[in-house]
Structures are given as C-alpha cells and as structure tokens.
Amino acid sequence: MNHLNILLVEDNDGDYLLVEEYLNEVFPNVIIEHSWLLSEAKKSITQNKFDIILLDLTLPDSNGIESIKEIIELVEGTPVIVLTGYADKNFAVDTMQMGVQDYLIKDEVTPIILQKSISYSIERNKIQQLFLKNEKRFRSIVENSADGYALIELSGKICDLSPLGKIRFNINPINADGYFRTDLIHDDYRSITIKTFFEVSKIPGEIRNLEALYQVDDNDFRWIEFTLYNLLEDPSVRAIVLNYRDITIRKHQEEQRLELIEELIQSNADLKQFGFITTHNLRAPLTNLLAIVELLDMNKIPDKSTKELLGAFKTATFQLNDTLNDLIKVLFIKQNKYVALNLIYFQTIVERNIHDLKALINSAEILINTDFSEAPSIFFDANYLESILLNLMSNSIKFASSERKLQINLKTKIEDDYIILEFSDNGIGMDMERVKDRIFGLYQRFHERSDSKGIGLYLIHSQVTALGGKISVSSKVNEGTTFYIKFKQTLGKTE
C-alpha cells in the first residue's frame, strides 16, 4: 500500500487532533480527509475512494444508529470503524451487526490500538468482500485468515475450518463426528449460542454477533467473539460462516473500566451527599451566630480587649457565611446540569449588569464597548449568563490599572455551530505562565486584594461547562485580559 487514504468524521476539535496525531504516528504514508458533519462525509464518499472510514457517532446533523445506517448504505464495501465515547456493550453489538468492522471507545484508544484496529478492519473487510465472489477465493481465505473461520452446515457439522485460526486461538471446535463442539461452551452461554445459530439459519443473509466463554484447556475458559453469517443459499458457500476471535484481554479491560466507572459514580454520589449534609448542618448554627452578632452593640462594651475579640468574632462569622454561600452556589451548579435554556440577548444582560454595578461604575472612569451584531442572542440559562458577565465585569473593575482609563470590550462571533463571546479589558492582567494551571480553581487568588475571594472564575467555569460550553483565557501583565467563552448551539439558531 503506497498510502492509506482515511476519512475521519469528527466534530470535536480535540478528538480530531488527537486521532490525527495517532494516525501520523503509526502510519508513514497516510492521507486524512476530515469531515465535521455527516452531510460533508457523504459528499466526500461519493467523490473519493477511501481505504477506511473513522466515524464519530455524535455529530451535529446526525447521531447514533442513523449515522451508521447512512454511511454503511453509501460506502459500498469500504470498512467503517466507530469511534465513540459511548461505552455500551449492547449498542456495540448492534453496530457490528449493521456492518461496522470495529467499535472503539475514545478514552481507550492508543496509537497501537488504532493501528491494529485499522489494519485488522481493512483485512477483515477484504476477507468479507472476497467471501461473496466465488468458492475458490473463499476457500483460500478460510484457510489463511488471521481470524478463526469455519463453515457449518445446518445440521451443525463443520465442513471447513481455518487451520490458522485453530492454531492461533488454541481452539478445536470439532468433535469426533465432525460436529461443532457445543459442550465446550460455558454453561451460562450454551443455550443462547445454540438458539442464535438456529435463528440465523432461518434467515438468508442474516448476520449475528455474540460473545461467549469457550473452554480451550481443562480449566481455562477464554472469551470468544463469534460472528454467524447465513450463506446457506449462496451456491458458492451453502453454509453458515462462523468467524471467531479471542477477545479475553478486551473483556478484562472492559470489566476493569466498568468497575472503575462504578467506583467513580459511587464516590461522586458520596461527595455530593457529604456536601449537602455539610451545608445543611452548618446553615442552622450559622444562622444563629449571625443573629447573635447582629444583636451585639459594640459601643456598649467598655473593655477594649473584649471589643477586639468580639469584632474578630463578628468578622469571622460573616466570612464563614460568605464561604458557605459560595459552596452552596457551587453545589447548585454541579447538581443542576439540566436546566431550561431560553433565547437570551447579550445586550439585555449587559445593560442589566451595568445597572447592578452602577455604584462601582460611577466611582471610576469606565468605557464599555459592545458588538453583538454577528450573534446578538444565544440559547442559555439567563441566570447563569447574568452571573458570568457580572463576575467578569466586577473583576475588570476590581483589577483596573491606575495608569489608564478602564476599557471593557464585549464581542460575539459565530464559528461553525458555536457562538464565541470575547470579553476583554485593559486592566493589570496576569502572568499566565505562573497561574495557567490554577486559573479556574476554587479559592485561587492571583492579586493581593482584600476583596478578592478567589471564587468568581471558578463559578464562571462551572456555569459555562455545566451546559456544555468551554472557556479559555489569555492575559499579559499591565496590558489586560481576554476571556473566550464558547457556547455550543444545540437547541436552535439565534436571530
């Protein structure tokens, strides 16, 4: 193969770049064509010949089974590998039954796994295409296939067996009479395997996938993936084709991954419960403390030391109340990821925030410029957007430069199916090399200001990401700061 021509259908920038890097690492001569949408991919398929197609299942204009159906109907024998973040065994089996060569979970993909999957998928696809041509070619493939292959008559008798597959997997599925050895299938899977065989035998052209534990030694069971293909009516075959492969390592990895997911889900639930219990149990005594400090009349306390102690107690109580309120805000955002989204106009929110910050704005020279002409509105949660812009504007005012008049610029633009909000100021800025890893952390402070609590950017990040958005920042000391907020539009087009 002089070069490998690949169509990569992926709408996520990060996933596309990572897969592209992997492909260039393991294949010396690879040509990659990238499609963001299913419609773009379909157009490319009609105009070009690809060796393999890597298909993401979550696309802006199609997703899941529908994406696979449309691609499989169009490719005319080109192998398809699904790349997805959806780790569901039944769904994976369904996709394989539709003609997909492999099903890879994005989080588990490495350069070597991708190389093997592509190489094996291309090889398997060639084999499957050759199966349908003639008996001579078919028999040659069976004898030399890297997978295990067998031809099984309706009675269950094996009329052909791939020698290489038998040696490769240490499986001898033929008994003394020449029939398939169902007795080596684990008790838990024997009935479903036999049932599947007879179901396939009744429907010409039917393809079924199943997984079962198969005994290869006295006490050793291996996970085997079987594919049954009914070619009983094909005059060149007249058998049910059995393709099998050892997937024991993959199954163990899946089990470990599921265990880890369960542990993470439980840990997350425990942390949420702990957070709610903590905030609930602190609220009542804190409310009592607040009531007590409000009743204290410092002017009636003659002893100076006592007055200082009570003053410190009062300050600490208010600080504890602020901290608890901050934590409650964070818990609310983390818990309420699915909120109703509405069409909101940026200018309306900005004007509302200017009104709320009127005292601060009037006390300083501030120029606020807005340009929402390209994207005047967005589908989002109004309270979240108002909080995001309020935190950004108040931060700009807090960290304005004393050497120049504060200028705040807000601008929106559209990139593909995203709306980008740019929020910039000419304040004192930050040293990004020093703070980049902590920029959106909780209680991270980057300037020595008594009124800086270090929670504003954390809340902004939580509110943006809770609804599927992304946020990044660039800044230079004594020049200013720019925030880029990327909103994914999924509910409709803005006006």
Instruction: State which of 4-18, 74-88, 284-298, 434-448 shows the largest mean pLDDT.
Output: 4-18
Of 362 and 335, which is predicted with more confidence?
362
Whole-angstrom distance, CA of residue 494 vs CA of residue 179: 65
Q: Predicted confidence band at 491 (pLDDT cuts at 50, 70, 90)?
A: very low
pLDDT at position 290 over 50: yes
pLDDT at 68: 83
**Tens of pLDDT, residues 303-357:** 888 878 887 787 777 767 766 666 666 665 556 555 667 888 999 988 888 887 7
Q: What is the pLDDT of residue 347?
A: 93
> What average pLDDT does the segment 418-433 reach?
89
- pLDDT of 195 reads 93
For the chain, the three-class secondary structure string (H helix, E strand, C coil) is: CCCEEEEEECCCHHHHHHHHHHHHHHCCCEEEEEECCHHHHHHHHHHCCCCEEEEECEECCEECHHHHHHHHHHHCCCCEEEEECCCCHHHHHHHHHCCCCEEEEHHHCCHHHHHHHHHHHHHHHHHHHHHCCCHHHHHHHHHHCCCEEEEECCCCEEEEECHHHHHHHCCCCECCCCEECHHHECHHHHHHHHHHHHHHHCCCCCEEEEEEEEECCCCCEEEEEEEEEEECCCCCCCEEEEEEEECHHHHHHHHHHHHHHHHHHHHHHHHHHHHHHHHHHHHHHHHHHHHHHHHCCHHHCCCHHHHHHHHHHHHHHHHHHHHHHHHHHHHHHHHCCCCCCEEEEHHHHHHHHHHHCHHHHHCCCEEEEEECCCCCEEEECHHHHHHHHHHHHHHHHHCCCCCCCEEEEEEEEEECCEEEEEEEECCCCCCHHHHCCCCCCCCCCCCCCCCCCCCHHHHHHHHHHHCCCEEEEEEECCCEEEEEEEEECCCCCCC
Nearest to 81 by CA among 148, 10, 28: 10
Q: Is there a contact between 446 and 430 (Cβ–Cβ < 8 Å)?
A: yes
* Contact in structure between 23 and 32 (CB atoms under 8 Å): yes
Amino acid at 88: D
Residue 26 has pLDDT above 80, yes or no: yes
pLDDT at 380: 84
Average pLDDT estimate for 236-243: 85
Q: What is the mean pLDDT of residues 264-278?
A: 64
Of the candidates 260, 100, 232, 249, which has an alpha carbon nearest to the alpha carbon of residue 153? 232
**Residue 227: pLDDT over 80:** yes
Proportion of the chain above pLDDT 90, given as a percent: 14
Residue of 420 and 278 predicted with greater confidence: 420
342-488 is classed in which CATH architecture? 2-Layer Sandwich (3.30)
Q: Stretch 372-387: mean pLDDT, rounded? A: 87
If one looks up domain 132-246 in CATH, what number appears?
3.30.450.20
- Provide the mean pLDDT of the chain: 80
492 versus 107: the higher-pLDDT residue is 107
pLDDT at 373 over 90: yes
Residue 447: is its pLDDT beyond 60?
Answer: no
CB atoms within 10 A of CB 364: 10
Residue 493 has pLDDT above 60, yes or no: no
What does the block give as tokens for 418? Answer: 């995203």
What is the per-residue pLDDT for 495? 46
* pLDDT of amino acid 11: 87
- The band of 492, judged by pLDDT with boundaries at 50, 70 and 90, is very low
CA neighbours within 13 Å on the CB side: how many for 246?
15
Q: Average the pLDDT over 358-381 and give the result.
A: 83
Asked if residues 401 and 363 have their Cβ atoms less than 8 Å apart, the reply is no
pLDDT of 294 over the 50 cut: yes
Instruction: Evaluate whether 152 touches 158 at the Cβ level (below 8 Å).
Output: yes
Locate 117 and state its tokens. Answer: 């999957």
Q: What is the pLDDT of residue 494?
A: 45
Query: pLDDT digit string (tens) for 138-168?
Result: 556 556 666 778 888 988 888 877 766 565 5
Q: How far apart are CA 338 and CA 223, in angstroms?
A: 39
Say whether domain 1-131 belongs to CATH 3.40.50.2300.
Answer: yes
At residue 196, the pLDDT reads 93
Position 121 pLDDT exceeds 50: yes
